[in-house]
Structure 1
Amino acid sequence: MTDDLIARARSSRVARGAAVAAGAALITGLAVSTPAVAAPAARQQSSATAAADRRDTVTEHRNASSVRRLITQTFADPGSRSSRQLAARLVSPSAVAHGAGTAAGPDGLLAQFSADRARVPGARAVVKRTAADGDLVAVHWQIAPDPCDERRGDAAVDLFRLQHGRVVEHWSLEQPIPTGTPASGNTNTMFSDLYRPARPTAAPSERQEERNRVFAVSAYDTLFRDHDASILDRAFDPAYLQHNSVAPNGTAALKQLFGSGAQFPAQQSVISLSDGDVVWTFSRAVGAKPDDPLLAADLFRVDGGPIREHWDVVPTS
């Protein structure tokens, strides 16, 4: 990561953590009714659409199963013969790994897992949610010293692009799970599912998933790229559930933050996918190069219109 990006990430992390949850939820509502207006300056092209055929659910399910197996079976003992064999089978030798200090191919992924285990002794991989959309698979998971305790270890989101059943591209974002009592009073964990709809809702169709994706990405960019906080009133549930401890549930704290005159470095979604009622966005600073590291992963639950719930992983460096 360049010094400039490190500075941006560090300076925006606390303020951004409070704003993301509300901002992304509101963005989903806005994209459906009022598309975001393009900024006049030269804008980084967003690769917001997942590649490949989104209607091929058989391949999507197979890819998701392969990635889940890759993480859960190799993380326990990355140096074992069985882990090396499985990684060689599921990861292309020329797979590209994005991010500072990461190595390519199956050995690079296993090295990452070894480093995770060294950092969090006794850690196990606990997968919380998985999404498959086109040729992309995203995994929200915990590097957990105790699988029964969501308040220890690290939170991670990994993104994989697959071709013919093998990983050919990989991004990884990790952050320590905050400890202690947050000043915000928000005690939601970084992983829990808390949203309960007022009435049962059917699983979204492929068409609805795509509408949700466009909606959430537009909302995210409206808030964090264009700095238009009015999106909070149009796209977010006022009582949305926040899993970043920097801010309480609901949009009130975010409105106060954005109304305080705080400055947020412009960033935008560059990769996104949608599966079920959750939209995943991956962002970079506006003007960043395509091969620069991702700044954050944000997950937004979209149900019946506005954003209802938000999770994120924001690396500190």
Structure 2
Amino acid sequence: MSKTSPEQNKALVLQAFDTLFNKRDYQAAGRFWSDTYIQHSAHIEPGRDGLFNLIRAIPDTLHYEHGLILAEGDYVIVHGRFSGHGRPAAWIAADVVRIENGKLAEHWDVLQDEATQTESKSGLPMFGTRFPV
């Protein structure tokens, strides 16, 4: 278990995600992800390079925004939206990240396309308070 607080871990993950996904600053992002980063996502090649190469291949219009974020011990879960990636619908994600020695060390995710108001059986948006336009 790390010596960082849940609040510090949440701030680390949000800063890391913003640096990579929104700013696309790969050099700075390298300081957030461990050299031995473990990737459990079915959509991303192994390791830090797999993640960085995926983001390089996505249009520069990619935008990440976070919603709910929870942390306990070395784990952070963040609910977010990835838009501008060139596909018809934004992705709504629940990302689970394990922190080790102040870096993102391991990642799991659950992804799905964001539903429109017409597609939503519940009548509620999947992210935030409004449906996508």
In 1, Cα distance between equivalents of 2:5 and 2:55: 26
| 2:63 alignment partner in structure 1 | 124
How many matched pairs?
125
Which of structures 1 and 2 has the bigger CA Rg?
1
Taking structure 1 as reference, are residues 144 and 99 closer, same or farther at Cα in structure 2, changes over 3 Å only?
closer
What is the deviation of 1:133? 0.5
Taking structure 1 as reference, are residues 192 and 86 closer, same or farther at Cα in structure 2, changes over 3 Å only?
same
Give the alignment partner of residue 95 of structure 1, picking from 37, 57, 62. Answer: 37
In 1, Cα distance between equivalents of 2:120 and 2:21: 34
SS in 2 for 1:94: strand
Percent identity over the alignment is 26
Runs of 5+ in structure 2 lacking a partner?
A: none
Letter in 2 for 1:156: A
| 1:153 alignment partner in structure 2 | 90
Runs of 5+ in structure 1 lacking a partner?
A: 1-51, 146-151, 194-317
Give the alignment partner of residue 68 of structure 1, picking from 14, 18, 22. Answer: 14
SS in 2 for 1:178: coil
Give the alignment partner of residue 113 of structure 1, picking from 26, 30, 55. Answer: 55
What is the deviation of 1:77? 4.5
**RMSD of aligned Cα (Å):** 2.5
Tell me the TM-score normalized by structure 1: 0.35
Taking structure 1 as reference, are residues 90 and 183 closer, same or farther at Cα in structure 2, changes over 3 Å only?
closer
Q: Decide which structure has greater helix share.
A: 1
What is the deviation of 1:124? 1.0
Letter in 2 for 1:97: Q
| 1:143 alignment partner in structure 2 | 82
Q: Decide which structure has greater strand share.
A: 2
Tell me the TM-score normalized by structure 2: 0.77
Give the alignment partner of residue 187 of structure 1, picking from 120, 123, 131. Answer: 123
What is the deviation of 1:98? 0.5
Q: Which of 1 and 2 has higher RCO (CA within 8 Å, sep 6+)?
A: 1
SS in 1 for 2:5: helix
What is the deviation of 1:102? 2.3
